[in-house]
Amino acid sequence: MTTTPIQPPAALAEPQRNVGPVWIGGITTGMLGLYMAFFTPIQVLLPLQLAAIAPDSKVAAFGLVTGAGALVAVIANPLAGALSDRTTGRFGRRHPWTLGGVAVGAAALWLLGMQTTVAGVLLLWCVAQAALNAGYASLNAAVPDHVPVRQRATVSGWIGFPQALGLVVGAVIVTMLVTGLATGYLVIGLAAAAMVLPFVLSTPDPPLPRAARKPVSWRPMLAGLWISPRAHPDFAWAWFTRFLVMLGNATGTLYLLFFLQDAVGYEQLFPGHSADEGVLILTLIYTTGVIATAVAGGVLSDRIGRRKAPVTVSAAVMAFAAVLLTFWHTWPMSMAAAAIMGAGFGVYLSVDQALITQVLPEAADRGKDLGVINIANSAPQVLGPALAAPIVAGLGGYTGLYALTAVVTLLGGALVWKIKSVP
């Protein structure tokens, strides 16, 4: 007597059919909107706002605000992912959280632009981070929900390069197309909501049957944020290596505006031009590198069926860029390092994200588990200022800062070989 295996519901099934260009274009556009909302404030709006509010303590205030926001993101992302895993409404598991999170985040950004105290900026940035991370967690989970393994690096490349492109588009908007901090925050928030909407309205999101839902209880959800390294060692190594590479990225980029002002002397080299224009130029160069390699690196990884070697090589390339800035604090070398860093990060984004989706412990917890992985993206934003501020202030200055960036990034790329289940 034979028994027919029980098929999981569509929401939990391993995807088999490739997604098409409409699906890929929709999620890419949505990710671009979210990354604009995440990174434009960090790179441009928050430094300028805090410099105006507290000019004598701008570095410390910026570190406090970005660190607190990152801490909120560390908590909000996996919790929102766990809640979306358990959502059973007829509109699906992910789409309600994606749209709702971005809508609340846009409102928080609008209010953030009106703040005139460090405390007000801190509070509203934390609210924005919580809401936007809820939207990001559910949108990111759409990849393992819908994309088969053989296509994941390619799709990850498409949704990865908006992380860099969002910096450019957002910076262009707030430095060239609109005037005033308040208007900049408002436009960025509205753009993010508008860019997520087409994907939510045009793509399927199979509902989860109530019978397949895990209990909605805070205690098991909070306990589920701990994923045992002993039970799931490959997931643990994927988390740790992502953390190291992103820590290197955070220490190298959080103080870019101040690096150009204080070490490169951009405003003395180019009288009449502000350092935030220099940040925009470097971001354009960096983004060109990311766009040039992200999708191509993902396609290559899918074709050869390898993940670890491309991750290691890309981390080594990023570390080399940091080495250049360790020894040469000049504008030409800053441009060269931006191009090299972008080329390495593009490949890393696509291939490492695909690798991560292949070590997720359980289909029913994809949103939560990707949220736990996202802690490795957000936690360095907390630790980055704590590590970078004393180094910049007196423990080696920017030479020490970029030396640390190189070492940490290279270590993250090397330890990926500890993962055994992915080639």
DSSP code per residue over 108-121? HHHHHTT--SHHHH
Q: What number of CA atoms fall less than 13 Å from residue 242's CA on the CB side? A: 26
Neighbouring CB atoms inside 10 A of 87's CB total 21
Q: Please report the pLDDT score of residue 10 as a whole number.
A: 83
- Burial of 397 from C-beta contacts in 10 A (0-12 / 13-18 / 19+): middle
Q: Please report the pLDDT score of residue 6 as a whole number.
A: 65
Rounded to the nearest 10°, the torsion over CA 284, 286, 291, 292 is 110
Low-confidence ranges of the chain (pLDDT < 70): 1-6
Whole-prediction pTM: 0.88
Q: Name every residue whose Cβ is closer than 8 Å to that of residue 244 and which is 6 or more positions away in sequence.
A: 408, 409, 411, 412, 415
Q: Where are the beta strands (DSSP E) in 345-421?
A: none
Q: Please report the pLDDT score of residue 187 as a whole number.
A: 97
Q: Please report the pLDDT score of residue 5 as a whole number.
A: 54
Total residue length of the chain: 423
In percent, how much of the chain has pLDDT > 70?
A: 99
What does the buried/exposed string (b/e) look like for 154-168 if buried means 16 or more CB atoms within 10 Å of the residue's CB?
Answer: bbbbbbbbbbbbbbb
Nearest one of 355, 335, 374 to 134, comparing CA atoms: 374
DSSP sequence for 278-313: HHHHHHHHHHHHHHHHHHHHHHHHHHHT--HHHHHH
Sign for the CA dihedral angle at 167, 161, 352, 20 comes to positive
Token duo for residue 340: 């090299």
Q: Is the Cβ–Cβ distance between 374 and 78 less than 8 Å?
A: yes
Q: Is the Cβ–Cβ distance between 90 and 208 less than 8 Å?
A: no
Q: Residue 232: left (phi > 0), alpha (psi -120 to 50), or beta?
A: beta
All domains in the chain, ordered by first residue: 21-202+216-418 (1.20.1250.20)
Instruction: Compute the distance between CA of residue 190 and CA of residue 196 in angstroms, rounded to an integer.
Output: 10
